[in-house]
Amino acid sequence: MHRIFHIVLLWMLVPPLLFAATPVPVEGRQGVVASASALASEVGVSIMKQGGNAIDAAVAVGFALAVTYPSAGNLGGGGFMVIHTQAGDQVALDFREVAPLSAHRTMYLDDQGNVTRDSVKSHKSSGVPGSVAGLLDALEKYGKLKRHEVIQPAIDLAQKGFVIPAHLAAQFEKQLESMAAYPASMETFSRNGVPYVAGDLWKQPDLTKTLQRIADQGKEGFYQGETAQLIVDEMARGNGQITLEDLAQYQAKWREPVSGTYRGYQVTSMPPPSSGGVLILEMLNMLAPYPVAELGWNSAELVHLMVEAERRAYADRAVHLGDPDFYAVPVETLISPEYAKQRFSNFDSGKATDSDAVGAGRIPAESPETTHYSVMDAKGNAVAVTTTLNWGYGNKIVVSGAGFLLNNEMDDFAAKPGVPNSYGLLGSEANAIQPRKRMLSSMSPTIVSQAGRPLLVTGSPGGSTIITTTLQVILNIIDHKMSLNDAVGLPRFHHQWKPNQIFYEPYALSPDTLKQLKQKQHQGLTVSKRLIGDANSVLFRDGVLQGVNDPRNQGGTAVY
């Protein structure tokens, strides 16, 4: 009762800007899609109405987001997908970008050995894109519809255009200064240098042609032929490193997902080269012996417990995680309950651990560089997809003649082991640059199941905060028994190893909680300058499919 009163009181106090528009979950019985774009979500539902399943819908949403949500939806980036099929199979698809064949471990160091900005602000910052291969592989293996059927809605949106909403027009205008050196970017995101305004019709003719080639030719329509040549020509203009050989050799990879149990629920998530699934399971294992529900949502005792689990897990991330095709990642050890017990053996309920005794790191600022969407259908198919260009709008470079943005994912490697990347995350030899290697990620597409049936599909953007956002949504559903909109909408906090700093959204931590955390010697308690995460999620409850968008960002949920 105390916890319920706390939540009700919180909702009475929180700023209207964040929570007044928190949507009640949209409900349906045949299918549900929650994404960062209302147009893309409607595309997914339209595909299910045509007889497609959740995988068909997820692929259609992915291509639509490349048109309607260009800051993170993409053809020129990559991502991860976790699928639960109606037959009960659980699979993970890795379509992360890879380093070009000419990449080498010192490529972003100057003559003095210092890290340059080439890893984020140049043609050399781009890894070989994986999104097109990943989406088409998922469709081929688990979809029911034809390729042209699931891509056609994206083609229509690009060709006929759509009305630019106010938030997207504002984003475009903000990006123009960074895009000024790239004519194709200016042509795509402005009218001859004049910013678009809300209400303008935005058509993308070059992107239309690229999507049509993919619909007609499949992966060859992107990784070979005209589109591939346009990418290589763009590389030549800026001393980039992606070649025709790089593109022709790219392959998405099916991987065994990481999976574990928490209070009788099965939690399935993405394995390396994503760090998200491993860390979520490691932290859940650390929390499992403790009465999370009884401690109370965001009480000082629970926040202390969660921060201590996060501190240890993020320290493990920097040392142990990388591309498993190049480094022996000890996944089974890291996600085992026995390891969690050992790792948490020095937990002190009354005192914060000194992070100097664990390791060193830095807290990043979050940016909307990534997007997550969730799909579920009535037959028990469920899909969690997180995709990205790294920074919002990637490296700001549109491929001339092809109409899509390039990623700057090479920054996610450890350009120099021991030196933080642009999100403050440290890496080691496990994440050093090598040709054809996949860079480490925090993306955490996750499916929670009960008795073999998908219950919750969730995930988030947000750099290193992806993992803690996803963890909190899971705890809110399983331990705190919240409604979906509360589980997604209530304020969050984040900690990631060192320094002893807890970032929290307004009203996430009460004055009494803050006082008690300080008494436990937690340091650096800071109100976050940015909202944490964007966890578009879907839930199956009482025979009904529910979907909700995170109120922290624009988006849309559609049901069938």
The domain 1-96+251-560: what is its CATH number?
A: 3.60.20.40
The torsion angles phi and psi of 554, rounded to 5 degrees, stand at -70, 155
pLDDT value of residue 103: 95
Which is nearest to 397 in space by CA: 124, 48, 166?
124
* 370 is known as an active-site residue: yes
Instruction: Kindly tell me the sign of the dihedral angle through the C-alpha atoms of 290, 292, 293, 298.
Output: positive
Q: Which amino acid is at 203?
A: K
- With contact defined as beta carbons under 8 Å apart, do 426 and 418 qualify? yes
What amino acid is encoded at 405 in this protein? L
What would the 3-class secondary structure string for 253-303 be? EEECCEEEEECCEEEEECCCCECHHHHHHHHHHHHCCCCHHHHCCCCHHHH
Beta strands in 378-477 (DSSP E): 382-388, 446-450, 453-458
Q: What is the mean pLDDT of each run of 10 residues along the chain (560 residues)?
A: 44 42 82 98 98 98 98 97 97 98 92 86 96 98 98 98 97 97 98 97 98 98 98 97 98 98 98 97 98 98 97 89 92 95 93 72 45 97 97 97 97 72 56 93 96 97 93 98 96 85 95 97 92 96 95 93
Q: In Å, what is the CA distance from 314 to each residue of 195, 318, 326, 465?
A: 41, 7, 21, 11
Q: What is the DSSP letter of 509?
A: S
pLDDT at 22: 55
**Selected catalytic residue, list 22, 188, 268, 370:** 370
Count how many Cα atoms sit within 13 Å of the Cα of residue 254 in the half-sphere of its side chain.
11
CA distance 159 to 149: 16
State the burial class of residue 357 (Cβ atoms within 10 Å of its Cβ: 0-12, 13-18, 19+): exposed
pLDDT value of position 117: 83
* pLDDT at residue number 418: 56
H-only helix segments in 77-202: 131-142, 147-160, 166-179, 183-189
- Indicate yes or no: pTM above 0.75: yes
Query: What is the residue extent of each domain of the chain?
Result: 1-96+251-560
